[in-house]
A = this chain, B = another copy of it.
Amino acid sequence: MKILKSQIRDVKIGNNVTIIEPSNLYECILEDNVFVGPFCEIQRDVKIGANTRIQSHTFICELVTIGKNCFIGHGVMFINDLFKEGKPANGDKSKWKETIIEDDVSIGSNATILPVRICSNVVIGAGSVVTKDITTPGIYAGNPAKFLRKIDD
């Protein structure tokens, strides 16, 4: 049996970054002023932009890029493997898909984010499942997430 420990390993870290342990972060990039709450995992090659907050219990997988000034709620799960052939890609990364979250995006707690692109100035409601790209700013919610309304000026 091999028992490994969650750790903060080989992370490229900007100024004024805060991380609450235990969390499992490795080979990712956290820009200035990023906050990461407890019980998070952030995998290799993930990039988190400046001033973005990653709340507790959140999992961010390889091939996810998150912009600046974003808020990722508690228990948010990102996905890179769509089980396209009815099963996991089993480490064949050519079958994984990427997720791009642009700037000023707020994702509510317990949301699930399939491999998509979400444009800037979007709010995702708590508990939503995002299955398609979002290209228009606004508020989206539900399973699957649909456009609810514009953000009030």
A interface, CB within 8 angstroms of B: 1-6, 8, 13, 16-22, 24, 37-39, 41, 53, 55-57, 59, 71, 73-75, 77, 79, 83-88, 104, 106, 108-110, 112, 114, 121, 123, 125-127, 129, 139, 142-143, 151-152
Contact = CB atoms under 8 A, between A and B. Distances in A.
Given A77-B110, A106-B88, A109-B79, A59 B59 contact: no
Contacts of A20: 3-6, 24
Given A4-B21, A6-B21, A38-B24, A112 B110 contact: yes
What does DSSP make chain A's interface, helix, strand, loop or mixed?
loop
Nearest to A35: B2
A86 B106 contact: yes
Contacts of A3: 8, 18-21
A139 B3 CA distance: 33
A109 B59 contact: yes
A141 B135 CA distance: 24
Contact of A123 (B87, B109, B129): B87
